[in-house]
Amino acid sequence: MRRSVWGRAVVLTLLLSLLSLMSLMSLMSLLPVGAAAAVTDAGPLPLERLFDNTAVSDDLWPTGADFDGSGGSLSAQDLTAAGWTPGRALTVQGARLTWPRRAAGEPDNVRADGQAVRVRGRGDALAFLVAGTGGADVGGTGTVRYADGGSSPYRLTAPDWRTGPLGALAVALPHINTPDGQLALKARLYVVTVPLVRGREVASVQLPEADALHVLALSVRASTPGWTGSWAASSSGYPAVGPWTDRTLRLVVHTSAGGPRVRIRLDNTFAATPVRIGSATVAVQAAGARPAAPPVPLAFRGAARAEIPAGAQAFSDPVGFEVPADANLLVSFHLPGTVTAAPVHRLAVQRSYVSDPGDHTGDDSPEAYTSTITSWPLLTGVDVGGGPGSVVILGDSITDGEKSTQDANHRWPNVLAARVLNQHVVPRYGVLNQGISANRVVSDRYPGDGVSTDTGGVSALHRLDRDVLAQTSGRTAIVFQGVNDVRWGASADQVVAGLREIAARAHSRGLRVLAATIGPCEGESLCTAAADTQRTAVNTWIRDNAEFDGTLDFDAVLRDPAHPARLLPAYDSGDHLHPGDAGLAALADSVDLRLLAGA
């Protein structure tokens, strides 16, 4: 009898335990994915195990997601059209991020609430794919924890998914899904980077506490040891082109540093749809579209072809190829589909070539290249193996080479690069020209989204990460901008605030930053007395401030001593704003090379 009572007690205890376990499992099934994971593991978890919000809905079931707390969500069909498909790796601003491997209607992002996220790697920055849903910028402070036990704070700010600046976005989608139907309003996603302590391995990241800040992906942007940027150009807009169907572009670019290996970078900046690359090659130019030797094939992650999603970029695999310094290369790539608009650098001051139909990337004859262009579509960088790193020049049309001689490489960064190659005072850096004609410090000329005839680029502040901080092995940045701001009515205070922000953001990534004073321009229609007053005030601040690591007094180089508001006649191209070849050479010759390395 006692054994029977005891046995029933044991059975009852086991039943109660089983019921408790089943209740706990049932409770966990009702919790968001991230919360359930947190119950089982208190340590840092991969981001996808913390997902507690759903951003993406199918157009046929718009109530399947609620990104913003009011039923709004991203369209799965729009994302697919942009090439942002579940689980796809995307390279944006040099960082490799993975779009959540989740179907529409499944949790796919984290609302930042102090979660500890497992992240590994060494690099110069953390890259977050983010958006805010509070109607305005939303941000907060988090912590990076390193494998050696140390930590560093960071501040992350996400622009709003519906009202944030188009000029800073990673991708824009044409619709927003709501319970009441689809709205023809832009949905915006952003890649925002924050600095890391270089050389230390990241172990985890604690997110800020900001409920309206959504994190969809996160990674360490790797540093680029063993590479030097030799040539670069900024995407200045997204105009109509061609149209090109089954054509090969053969672009002529001029190197600064040389090296034994090469890779190229193609950017689909500002785009709404992917672009397909059928094949690509590189060669040294003999003359025109004729290579000096048979072009060398390039690959992308082991394949000859590549598809670059909207807003993303592609680096070719390293290939052994002796890149000469201070020489012209031919970079050829085949566009197998139809391209009606493309990201371009408009002012190349260089003739490049477009072929008759077909893949002519491997041609060692120029015969198929029957038309010319004077812009650089899609191609934004050429890197060489080895070398000490790069100097990056952020500028406007004077840096871009407006009024310099076509095909002669007389832009002042080219002349500076030649000086750097022929000296032994500082390392022989590559020199990267990130000038954009008509560009401004604090306001966008090109709006940042859609096909436009304006190719003046987004503001220096909006393009800083892509065009300076993410450039290959950057060591020093030179900022030479502001004349377009004051010509179009900006105040000196606005320009100074922008320059201060540029210096602070570049310094946080370990870059030296030099500022150049703004040259004179009296006699040009927009260079009024009022504009000159603002220009002079900016220059006074540049000369007197300690926020930069050095000053280049380009105003003093270019001005007429007898009439300081005007260009010296010998340097004037004729429009009273842009120096000609002689003036551009004078700018390059005036640079104290020791400033490039802090010597």
C-alpha distances out from residue 149 to 152, 154, 202, Å: 11, 17, 10
Mean pLDDT, the chain, integer: 93
- pLDDT exceeds cutoff 90 at 12: no
pLDDT in tens, 351-395: 999 999 999 999 999 999 999 999 999 999 999 999 999 999 999
Confidence label for 19 from pLDDT (cuts 50, 70 and 90): very low
Give the contacts of 487 (CB within 8 A, at least 6 positions apart): 521, 524, 526, 527, 531
- Token pair of 407 as six digits: 């095909």
Whether the predicted pLDDT of 36 surpasses 80: no
- Residue 395 has a pLDDT of 98
Q: Which fold has domain 388-599?
A: Rossmann fold (3.40.50)
Q: pLDDT by residue (tens digit) across 250-269?
A: 999 999 999 999 999 999 99
For 490-549, how does the pLDDT look when each residue is reduced to its tens digit (9 = 90+)? 999 999 999 999 999 999 999 999 999 999 999 999 999 999 999 999 999 999 989 999
Residue 39 has pLDDT above 70, yes or no: no
Q: CB burial class (10 A; 0-12, 13-18, 19+) of residue 25?
A: exposed
Return the closest-CA partner of residue 481 out of 434, 419, 414.
Answer: 434
Residue 33 has pLDDT above 90, yes or no: no
What's the whole-model pTM score? 0.92
**Nearest CA-CA partner of 90 in 279, 216, 212:** 216
Please give the pLDDT value at position 225.
87
List pLDDT tens digits, range 305-327. 999 999 999 999 999 999 999 99
Q: What mean pLDDT comes out for the span 235-263?
A: 98
Q: What is the pLDDT at residue 15?
A: 34
599 — pLDDT class (breaks 50, 70, 90) = low
pLDDT at 211 over 50: yes
Say how far apart CA 581 and CA 584 lie, in whole Å. 5
Please give the Cα distance from 576 to 566 (Å, whole number).
7
Interatomic CA distance for residues 166 and 186, integer angstroms: 9
Instruction: Look up tokens 């052994």; give the residue.
Output: 320
Q: Which of 278, 312, 275, 302 is nearest to 88 (CA)?
A: 312
Single out the residue of 88, 394, 37, 389 nearest to residue 217, CA to CA: 88
Task: Inform me whether the pLDDT recorded for 9 exceeds 90.
Answer: no
Residue 1 has pLDDT above 90, yes or no: no
Q: What is the mean pLDDT of residues 422-437?
A: 97
The answer to whether the beta carbons of residues 334 and 250 sit under 8 Å apart is no
What is the residue whose two structure tokens read 């002519």?
Answer: 360
Residue 31 confidence (pLDDT) above 70: no
Which of 42-51, 138-147, 318-327 has the least mean pLDDT? 42-51
Q: Is the pLDDT of residue 41 over 90?
A: no
| Confidence class for position 5, pLDDT limits 50, 70, 90 | very low
Classify 35 as helix, strand or coil.
helix
Q: Is the pLDDT of residue 329 over 90?
A: yes
Considering the chain, what percentage of its residues have pLDDT values greater than 70?
93
Residue 244's closest CA among 333, 351, 167, 340? 340
DSSP secondary structure letters along 47-65 = GGGG--B--EEBTTBGGG-
